[in-house]
Structure 1
Amino acid sequence: MQKSLTRMSSSWIVIVIALAGLGFWLNYRTRGNQTVPSVSSEVQPVRAVAALGRIEPEGSVIKVSVVNAKDSRVDQLLVKQGDRVQAGQIIAILQGLDKQQAAVVEAERNVAVQQAKLAQTQAGSSTSSQRLAQQAAIRRLEAELRTELIEKQAAIRRQESELENARTTYQRFEKLYREGAVSALDLDNYRKTYETAETQLNTAQAQLANTAETLSAEIAQAQATLTNLSEVRPIDVKVPQSEVEYAVSQLQSAQAKLEDFYVRVPVAGRILNINTRIGEQVNADEGIVDLGQTDRMYVVAEVYETDVSRVQIGQRTTIVSENGGFTQKLQGTVEQIGLQIKKADVLSTDPAADSNARVVEARIRLDPQDSKQVDGLTYMQVRVNIHPDSVARTP
């Protein structure tokens, strides 16, 4: 019985060994049929960030306008589309320049007059010749007033006589008309003669009153000047001094208003478009011209908010035309990333695209050689690929 047990144990050992060998062989065969992945296949390329965008000059497009656009019209346009301009250059002149120039000249003359008066006051007491001259001026004005009164009164008397004659004639013909002796046309002519005479009398009387008032005021002013021709006191200088200061301020104001008639560009650049022509009212929304600093061109890419975390300043980009506006591929570098999420402005040509997509704007500075290729393509729509694994080297 012991021998029987020994034989059974030996059989189980053989079975276990055989099963272990079979398992080892199956495992080895399975592993041999599997492909061992290479190191290179495990490294996946970084996917580019795709976005739509538009080409813009440095600093975007500047709409050159004036403060009071609705009240201004262009008189002269000194540039045309495509012209290059320097900072501060005059590109247009508004209507009304000649009137404002005349206002400046008048203000300059007033300053000179007030300064002369101040100098005269500061010179000290008046001389006897000045007083004599002022007295003579008063006598001249009084004589002129007397002469004017005599002449105007004589004219009034003549007009009164003519009016009386016209009234009498008109009344006579009015009676004849009622009797049927004269026509309505004749009566109307005499009525007009009567009314004309009445108007002329009123005019003559008004001229008399106006002349008397004007010359009387001049005489009063001249007498006041004569009274003030005495030794100067400190208080006497204050009034002419304030008049000079006021005249100067008026001149400065007129000069500032004159400058408003000259439309200047704030920066150097290129005229991209003319929005207001000669004789037209300045376009309140578009201004007079569109100005761009086209020496350095940019692309404004609208990056989906889901991709913005993968975009960083310094990353390299590749740009192609959306609609075949240019054939070459442009290169650029991300220079600025917006801080605000907004609705997309650039619309895709894909009808399935989401027109309400939320995006962040990223400004891409084009490489100099590529910038020159598109300096005349402002606002052209492009497709942008931003390469997260490519960062421009700092020079």
Structure 2
Amino acid sequence: MQSRPSPVPFPAASAFPKALSWVLVACLGAGLGIVALRPGQAIPAEDTPMEAVAVVPATVTALGALEPEGETLGIAVPSSAQGSRVEQLKVAQGDSVEAGQVLAVLDSYEVRRAAAVRAEQDLRVAEAQLAQVEAGAKNGAIIAQQAEIQRLNADQQARIASQEALVNRLVAEENNAAVELGRYSKLYDEGAISALERDSRQLTLEAAQQNRQQAAAELVRLQSTESPQLLAAQATLAQIAEVRPVDVALAQATVDRAQAGLQQALVDLNQTVVRSPRSGVVLDILAQAGERVDAGGNLLELGQLTQMAVRTEVYESDLQRVAVGQPVQVSSAALPQVLQGQVVRLGWKVQPQSIITTDPSATIDARVVEVQVALDEPSSAIAQRFTNLQVTVEIDTQ
């Protein structure tokens, strides 16, 4: 017969309690060690101390706004024309303009243009009067006055000749009277005539002598003096031919005053025309034709879109990590792609944040520093139609 194997013997009942005791002691010790450690405290390894290492982000993220380089320029009407009405608007939104180009004409243009034309005419009249004074009298006037003097001279010579003839005739009469007196005196001595007849001839001789003396005296006066008419004519000729410095100075002062009036009229006229102070693109029209522009109001907004920039507001705590020349990426849901640029200028003052995000959990009273970012040429071309767009700016600080 085949015998069955002997069964394996079981340990004695006293051995189980002892082994279980050792297991419980080991578990209890481990539990007490775990409880002794603080929550979150790592178990220190023996002979290998650990040091904490701070992780510095590779970028600085901030909010910004797209704008033309040099900022947007508000074009206002001249101060003297404030309150005027826009008569003509010469540009439209999106038009490119050059420096000095006419943007608008105000309603007072025609009135001031007429004043400028009148001032120009006044200047021409004053200049003509100055030329007339400097040139003296007209040649025709001088020639006519000279002819008048010649006529008066001829009259004077004719009077002298007539007086000389009279004197000669009176001398002859005197001589004849003397001969008659001599003949009658002889007849009286012979007793042929009475004393009365002799005395009559004596009186005739004396009268002839007086007439001759008076005519001779008048002849001397005519020969030694000129007639008042001739003297007046000569004075008139000297007056019209003379160019007096005082007359020239007065005419020149009139010209200067007319020139000043013209300059003032042109300045007033220029105040009615709004011109572009620089080249750029019309971003917005703020007043249409027929509307009035009050004090402090702008007519339109102008920007230079060939070079676009981003006005970025960097938190003051991040400024020390930002430097000129660092590359920048600009993004927005409205942009077709991420724009590229670089930091070109850091602000000099800390100021309150002005570009606010729509996130309600974001800080809205933070202190920031403006950092100017210039976009490259391809990015500027894309950003031209997005002036004032709020964007997210990521500055690579590595």
Cα deviation code 1:295-333 (max 9, x no counterpart): 111000011111112111101111111xx2224211110
Unpaired runs of 5+ in structure 1? Answer: 1-29, 133-227, 390-395
Unpaired runs of 5+ in structure 2? Answer: 1-44, 145-238
Is residue 396 of structure 2 the alignment partner of residue 348 of structure 1?
no
Is residue 258 of structure 2 the alignment partner of residue 247 of structure 1?
yes
1:82 paired residue among 80, 94, 111: 94
Q: 1:328 to 1:283 in 2, by over 3 A?
A: farther
Kindly indicate whether the alpha-carbon contact (under 8 Å) linking 1:126 and 1:231 is maintained by their aligned counterparts in 2: no
TM-score, length of structure 1 as denominator length: 0.61
Shift of 1:126: 6.3
Q: Aligned residues: percent identity?
A: 38
Shift of 1:46: 3.8
Q: 1:339 to 1:47 in 2, by over 3 A?
A: same
Q: Which has the larger radius of gyration?
A: 2
Q: Helix, strand or coil for the counterpart of 2:317?
A: coil
Write out aligned runs for 1:153-302 (5 A). 231-302=242-313
Q: CA RMSD in A?
A: 3.0
CA distance in 2, matches of 1:245, 1:367: 55
Shift of 1:272: 0.5
Shift of 1:234: 0.9
Q: Which runs of 4+ in 1 moved over 3 A?
A: 34-37, 41-47, 125-132, 283-286
Kindly indicate whether the alpha-carbon contact (under 8 Å) linking 1:297 and 1:374 is maintained by their aligned counterparts in 2: yes
2:115 paired residue among 84, 103, 107: 103
Aligned length: 263
1:70 paired residue among 58, 76, 82: 82
Cα deviation code 1:274-311 (max 9, x no counterpart): 01111111254441111110111100001111111211
Write out aligned runs for 1:15-34 (5 A). none
Kindly indicate whether the alpha-carbon contact (under 8 Å) linking 1:273 and 1:289 is maintained by their aligned counterparts in 2: yes
Kindly indicate whether the alpha-carbon contact (under 8 Å) linking 1:276 and 1:283 is maintained by their aligned counterparts in 2: no
Partner of 1:375: 384
Q: Which amino acid aligns with 2:85?
A: R
Q: Which amino acid aligns with 1:53?
A: G
Shift of 1:36: 10
Kindly indicate whether the alpha-carbon contact (under 8 Å) linking 1:131 and 1:229 is maintained by their aligned counterparts in 2: no
Partner of 2:125: 113
Shift of 1:128: 7.7
CA distance in 2, matches of 1:265, 1:378: 19
Q: Helix, strand or coil for the counterpart of 1:363?
A: strand
CA distance in 2, matches of 1:375, 1:130: 76
Partner of 1:385: 394
1:332 paired residue among 341, 350, 356: 341
Is residue 315 of structure 2 the alignment partner of residue 304 of structure 1?
yes
Shift of 1:360: 0.9
Q: 1:371 to 1:113 in 2, by over 3 A?
A: same
CA distance in 2, matches of 1:334, 1:78: 37
Kindly indicate whether the alpha-carbon contact (under 8 Å) linking 2:311 and 2:372 is maintained by their aligned counterparts in 1: yes
Q: Helix, strand or coil for the counterpart of 2:63?
A: strand
CA distance in 2, matches of 1:247, 1:285: 34
Kindly indicate whether the alpha-carbon contact (under 8 Å) linking 1:49 and 1:387 is maintained by their aligned counterparts in 2: yes
CA distance in 1, matches of 2:143, 2:71: 70
Q: Helix, strand or coil for the counterpart of 1:353?
A: coil
Kindly indicate whether the alpha-carbon contact (under 8 Å) linking 1:81 and 1:274 is maintained by their aligned counterparts in 2: yes
Cα deviation code 1:323-347 (max 9, x no counterpart): x222421111001111122111111
Shift of 1:261: 1.8
Shift of 1:232: 2.6
Shift of 1:72: 2.2
Q: 1:280 to 1:81 in 2, by over 3 A?
A: same
Kindly indicate whether the alpha-carbon contact (under 8 Å) linking 1:275 and 1:283 is maintained by their aligned counterparts in 2: no
Q: Helix, strand or coil for the counterpart of 2:71?
A: strand
Cα deviation code 1:99-153 (max 9, x no counterpart): 1111111111101111111111112256784999xxxxxxxxxxxxxxxxxxxxx
Q: Which amino acid aligns with 2:335?
A: F
Shift of 1:230: 6.8
Partner of 1:360: 369
Shift of 1:75: 0.5
Q: 1:352 to 1:305 in 2, by over 3 A?
A: same
Q: 1:354 to 1:130 in 2, by over 3 A?
A: farther
Q: 1:90 to 1:128 in 2, by over 3 A?
A: closer
Cα deviation code 1:174-232 (max 9, x no counterpart): xxxxxxxxxxxxxxxxxxxxxxxxxxxxxxxxxxxxxxxxxxxxxxxxxxxxxx86733
CA distance in 2, matches of 1:325, 1:284: 36
Partner of 1:183: none
Shift of 1:67: 2.0
Shift of 1:89: 1.2
Q: 1:285 to 1:55 in 2, by over 3 A?
A: farther
